[in-house]
A and B are shown apart, each in its own frame.
Chain A
């Protein structure tokens, strides 16, 4: 016990910050809510891909994709600590709140990036590892460091990072990229703008304070609402593409069409919302529904794939 007591008295410069962040804070650096979306969509890509993968290796592949996504989240929190501090939604994150230092966060993110990519390459295949590396690079460098503070189209282009997981999951099984996996990518890619612009509408003050050029702050509410409706229509169309391409059944197509019509309806309510509305209820409802939409679409795809795989029928 004496040794433990000696360890408690660290030799360090008086001014050096001492970590107060616990394991939960390090887990928060991985953006667990974003990670849950990544895990789910990657799993659907993996389950829909033609071919076989050992179930344990499939589980490990999803785990490594999740770690890679978490690593890019940590790198994002390292770089964005200055603007996170200025926004109510993000000011309690471990870095702006001072519980974990920026240097530690950078090291954590870089280590997990290298670990997840190299292990995925060694255990599964190097195409999926390369795609994971590109996804981390795209989110941490292209989106976070370049697009986010520069253009109102930041989340349109940056949305690609969040759309890659099903392609990676698919590549884990087939060691290839196909039109089918690109169709899954397109659903998330086209869904992202309406989802984030709904958030940007009712968080415009926060984004304005941080100096992030989100569309409502740069182009105004009216232009944003028009763009939201346009992207919701594109998202609804992309949702039924798997059935049109023949790799999902008719039942899925009907579910996707109903979910898509509801998505357009919620967007339409946002379009009808008076400019300058303070409560922004329709925008908040659209933001909530957009999450339900994406989980609904990918759940339906998963069920479709499982039925086809285990019962050999397309419904």
Chain B
């Protein structure tokens, strides 16, 4: 197994993919949160503790 040095272009592409993945994951968190609130509705706050 050799160590492979990434070229500048490969580092730039990896950074672009990482940022896109982070944005998509953050959007998914918001999406599932919003869907949960809409599907369950205000009743989610009225459950016994």
Contacts and interface: CB of A to CB of B under 8 A. Distances in A.
Contacts of B39: 123
A14 B5 CA distance: 10
Interface in B10-49: 10-14, 16-17, 19-20, 31, 34-35, 38-39
Interface residues on B, range: 20 to 34
A23 B39 CA distance: 32
A56 B3 contact: no
B31 to A, nearest CB: 6
Contact of A24 (B1, B5, B16, B31): B16
Contacts of B6: 8-10, 18
Contacts of B17: 19, 21-23, 26
A57 B35 contact: yes
* Secondary structure of the A contact surface, majority rule: mixed
Contacts of A123: 35, 39
A22 B1 contact: no
A139 B25 CA distance: 27
Contact of B10 (A16, A20, A56): A20
Given A57-B35, A57-B38, A60-B35, A22 B4 contact: no
Nearest to B2: A14
Contacts of B34: 56, 60
Interface in A1-47: 8-14, 16, 18-26
30 contacts: A8-B6, A9-B3, A9-B4, A9-B5, A10-B3, A10-B4, A11-B1, A13-B1, A14-B2, A14-B4, A16-B4, A18-B6, A19-B13, A19-B14, A19-B17, A20-B9, A21-B17, A22-B16, A23-B17, A23-B19, A24-B16, A25-B13, A26-B20, A54-B38, A56-B34, A56-B38, A60-B31, A60-B34, A123-B35, A123-B39
